[in-house]
Structure 1
Amino acid sequence: MIRLLVVVLLVALGAPAWAQSVSFPSVTVGASPAGPEVKGWIYKPPGNGPFPAIILAHSCAGTNRHTDGWGKLLVSWGYLVLAPDSFGPRGTRAVCTTPNVVTPNMRVADIAGALDYLATRSDVVKGKVGIIGHSHGGSTVIRSAQKKFGLAQRGLAAGVAYYPGCNPKFDGDIDIPVLLLAGDRDDWTPADRCRSLMSGLTRGVLVEAIYYPNAYHSFDSKAADRTVPGAAGKQHHLAYDTVAAPDAEARTKAFFAKYLR
């Protein structure tokens, strides 16, 4: 009964029910200043490892069931997963309607801290750490991949960005392999901005971009079609896509196997 109550409390707080709670410092890197101490959750496969690891960057909705589902999936593929909470320590639970409260640029400092923390663990393979993120987390992946932050030197080997908000002006100097997955019907983080980013990359060979013609935002989340508010009162359509979701998942699995195994 006590364990059940603990699980219920964790879920209510947005925490994964079957993961280990950890904390580590956020670290200044370039123009990304250190934030408060980061709390997060470790998902670990059976055994002692060492395992390749993946940092799981949550969406603008913060850590939730979507985060937990991906944590468990990545563990089933044999990865140790660290899911940092970039919002809670900064005093918010979500930024979908207030995107400038916590930005992807700010979250890079958390990713640097996560990499430093993973480097201290004996159950993680050194230099075999990837990152995956969705929406706001996908933008965090793209920003973390920029050469100016030097996260490759901290052990970041590859990243997967699901429907990120691409910023062609600031994100053109990617220096690790990235898989970018976007929906052409996405009215929140438009795929055309990612096409513009791709056309201006200094090392375009590092990035593979896949565009799903009928997919909306959040196409991998198995939920009913819905409309949700974004910034400035705009409404955005979210929908699971039965074609895009399994294809993106298969590509993600193969991509990480290529760069982290």
Structure 2
Amino acid sequence: MSQQQQSQPVTQIEIDQRVYDLYDEYCHGKIDRREYLKRASALAALGIPALAMATSLLPQYAKAQTISFTDPRIKASYVTYPSPGGNGDGKDMRGYLVQPTGNGPFPAVLIIHENRGLNPYIEDVARRAAAAGYLALAPDGLAPLGGYPGNDDDGRTLQAKLDQAKLRTDMLNGAKWLKAHKLSTGKLGVTGFCWGGGTSNFLATAMGSDLQASAPYYGAAAATADVGKIKAAMLIHFAAKDDGINGMWPAYEAALKAAGTRYEAHIYPDTQHGFHNNSTPRYNEAAAKLSWDRTIEHFKKHLA
């Protein structure tokens, strides 16, 4: 193999599913980075260049920026908000607030991060929402521990140390603060990814009629006993290859139907968990674009 061939980046289609499965364990905190790379290296005995594949899946956040910090359509700043009952023991939470240029008011959207804090990908998603006309807040659940530490490994470790019920309270308080913001119309939507997707489902049960729309991405289902509390219109996104999350869907859908909840769900073919995150080869451009277009249309319909 030539040096030029060796230097070519690994693409999504070239990555073995077994490596994706290992990465999923790593992303969800079941194994650490060392174990992840060790197990990937062991697959080399099967003739799979798995270490290169495994390394390529680690996030490269320079790729995640699609909306510049200085984009003239938006204004971004870091803000704090009160979060009683959260992990900060009464101290303020911190988040990334992005507004469209203009005087407003604007419909509002809460953007909820994965299980590693407010990383650059999630900040970019907030800017994307603002560029589409929404007042967007992306809370940093790690604020009580000093905030997102600059890398996902440490972020994942920190988030696992938090009281998870209080962490959800921090997100709930962020939703309430955003809804009442002076630039908000009072119409509120929420979207989130992985842990944030599960929290988007949770907020739909916790907020009742105070939440108008929710668009979770590959997140854990809401508790079946609480589904009847959902008043928001639900748009639920699934990856095709995501057994842990997808296995929850039949019971969740049955509960949504029984409650008469407005919902639609989409499973995107040939996608992995995390397909919307454009910082790793799990990203699927077509599915990410289609799902985001659907999300924005969902908010347009229900937050008008």
CA distance in 1, matches of 2:250, 2:113: 23
1:208 maps to amino acid: E
- The alpha carbon displacement at 1:193 in A equals 1.3
CA distance in 2, matches of 1:170, 1:90: 32
Match for 2:77 among 20, 44, 68? 20
TM-score computed with the length of structure 2 as normaliser = 0.65
CA distance in 2, matches of 1:242, 1:122: 35
Match for 2:185 among 100, 118, 125? 125
- The alpha carbon displacement at 1:243 in A equals 3.0
CA distance in 1, matches of 2:182, 2:147: 32
Paired position in structure 1 for 2:103: 48
Identity %: 27
Match runs of 1:136-147 below 5 Å: 136-146=195-205
Paired position in structure 2 for 1:220: 276
SS in structure 2 at match of 1:208? strand
Match runs of 1:67-82 below 5 Å: 67-82=122-137
CA distance in 1, matches of 2:272, 2:236: 15
Alpha carbons 1:86, 1:110 under 8 Å: kept: yes
Alpha carbons 2:231, 2:261 under 8 Å: kept: no
SS in structure 2 at match of 1:172? helix
Paired position in structure 2 for 1:254: 297
SS in structure 2 at match of 1:215? strand
Paired position in structure 2 for 1:106: 166
Superimposed CA distance per residue, residues 191-211 of structure 1 (whole angstroms, 9 cap, x where no aligned partner): 121233112334253221111
SS in structure 2 at match of 1:190? helix
Return 5+ residue gaps in structure 1 as ranges.
1-10, 28-32, 226-238
RMSD (CA atoms): 2.6
Give the number of the structure whose residues are more often helix, by fraction: 2
Match runs of 1:78-89 below 5 Å: 78-89=133-144
- Alpha-carbon spacing, 1:218–1:47, altered in 2? closer, same or farther (3 Å): same
- The alpha carbon displacement at 1:48 in A equals 0.9
Higher radius of gyration, 1 or 2: 2
Alpha carbons 1:167, 1:193 under 8 Å: kept: no
- The alpha carbon displacement at 1:249 in A equals 1.0
- The alpha carbon displacement at 1:246 in A equals 1.5
User: Would you identify which runs of 4 or more consecutive aligned residues in structure 1 move more than 4 Å?
Assistant: 90-100, 167-171
Return 5+ residue gaps in structure 2 as ranges.
1-61, 63-67, 71-75, 149-153
TM-score computed with the length of structure 1 as normaliser = 0.75
Deviates more, 1:166-175 or 1:134-143: 166-175
1:243 maps to amino acid: A
CA distance in 1, matches of 2:293, 2:137: 21
- The alpha carbon displacement at 1:25 in A equals 1.5
